Structure 1
Amino acid sequence: MTAPAVDADGEPAPAPAVRLVAGTFAVADLDAFLADLDEVAAETGAVVQAFDADLVVSGTQLREAARLAARAIARGEAVARDPGVEVLLYAAGRRQIDRALDLGVAEGERPAVVLVADFGDVPGADRPPADLDWAAEAVRGLALDSAEPAEGDALATGFDEDRVREFYGVTDRELAATNGGLADAVRERVALLDVEK
């Protein structure tokens, strides 16, 4: 058995439970779609955030973003008031909300990954305990296809390498200097966001 993760002060680091739902969503009206996600959040207590699947390299990227967002909220260091937006900032590897919003969904019929997370035990999040099974099921009900929960690191939707490189600013030189691939470079951006604060 491993010891629980701790933060820099030796306090237990919050690690919210996360579910990911990947699939194709028809977003005719972005405001209406976001209102549907807000309704899922209100009914289930979950933090709900949608991402453009073309820009998400792995499930680990989003799970780590949720963990780091929870830690920032617990420490009183969050940039955003909304936990979902804080997760978005970490996933985008940026502190500017207007630039991070480009990682979110847009209108049209397109692949997306929706994160549902339980921030109920995160100090400062002011969230009730969440029913993630209900939240994931409700999100699946919004999808065009039979969106399945994303297990492990791989996402059924895949990602667009050119768009990822442009969005995250990953250069050929950086990739050549990395032991891993593009997904590793993006996950490093997520992890390094704390250092840049």
Structure 2
Amino acid sequence: MELLECSVTIDDLDSFVAALGEIGDRHAVTIQAFDADYLADRAHLERAVEFADRAIERGENVARDRAVEILLYAAGRRQIDRALEMGVDDSEQDAVVLVDAEDGDRDAEREALEAVAELEAVRERTPTLESTDATRLCAFFDITDAERNATDASLGDLVRERVALLEVEK
């Protein structure tokens, strides 16, 4: 799995998503773009990919598309409409673009990542996972102050727990 942390300006979301799809098809990789404010850390996405792949292998996936299944797990939700909230939209924003080859082809991942980085919408590479929006993460993942105060687990740990709970709650 490769991640492109960047700032983007998306004027036409459909065109941007289509370009990601074309790059993914050309390099035989899965590509999914996220609004960085909804991600806890790299491990959050690693866990989502792991669970999405397991669901697909078992025939328990909700989405037909692997990228959407990854999005569902990253969001900790089975409803595609609600999960889409953590995707990118028509605006300027910090983003993380996940590129993953099911067969583990790291060269294909790197080549696809570079192709994504060259898209017009990508303004610059910038660390977007270094600082998290705790308020947004807590609201989106329904993490209460009481829950945070009752444990010494990090916010990232609690978000990854939500991803894992989706697997359990099926």
* TM score, norm. by length of structure 1: 0.80
**Aligned pairs (5 A) from 1:110-189:** 110-120=93-103, 131-142=108-119, 143-147=122-126, 155-156=129-130, 158-189=131-162
Q: Structure 2 unaligned runs (5+)?
A: none
Q: Which residue of 1 aligns with 2:3?
A: 20
How many Å apart are 1:99 and its aligned residue? 0.6
* Cα distance in 2, alignment partners of residues 167 and 70 from structure 1: 23
Give 2:158's aligned amino acid. A
Q: Which residue of 2 aligns with 1:6?
A: none
* Cα distance in 2, alignment partners of residues 129 and 112 from structure 1: 21
2:37 aligned to 42, 54, 58, which one?
54
How many Å apart are 1:178 and its aligned residue? 2.3
**1:180 alignment partner, SS class:** coil
**1:131 alignment partner, SS class:** helix
1:21-49 per-position Cα deviation (integer Å, ceiling 9, x unaligned): 11101101111111111111111111000
Q: Which residue of 2 aligns with 1:43?
A: 26
The answer on whether the counterparts of 1:170 and 1:185 sit within 8 Å (CA) in structure 2 is: yes
**Aligned pairs (5 A) from 1:26-37:** 26-37=9-20
Q: Structure 1 unaligned runs (5+)?
A: 1-17, 122-127, 149-153
1:66-108 per-position Cα deviation (integer Å, ceiling 9, x unaligned): 0110011011110100000000000000111111110101111
Determine which structure has the larger helix proportion and give its number. Answer: 2
How many Å apart are 1:118 and its aligned residue? 1.0
1:145-164 per-position Cα deviation (integer Å, ceiling 9, x unaligned): 1357xxxxx824x3211111
Identity between Structure 1 and Structure 2 (%): 46
Runs of 4 or more, structure 1, over 2 Å off, are: none
Aligned length: 168
* Cα distance in 1, alignment partners of residues 45 and 34 from structure 2: 9
The two structures, once aligned, show a CA RMSD in angstroms of 1.8
* TM score, norm. by length of structure 2: 0.92
1:151-184 per-position Cα deviation (integer Å, ceiling 9, x unaligned): xxx824x321111111111100111122212111
Q: Higher relative CO (CA 8 A, sep ≥ 6), structure 1 or 2? A: 2
1:86 aligned to 58, 66, 69, which one?
69
**1:40 alignment partner, SS class:** helix
Q: Which residue of 2 aligns with 1:190?
A: 163
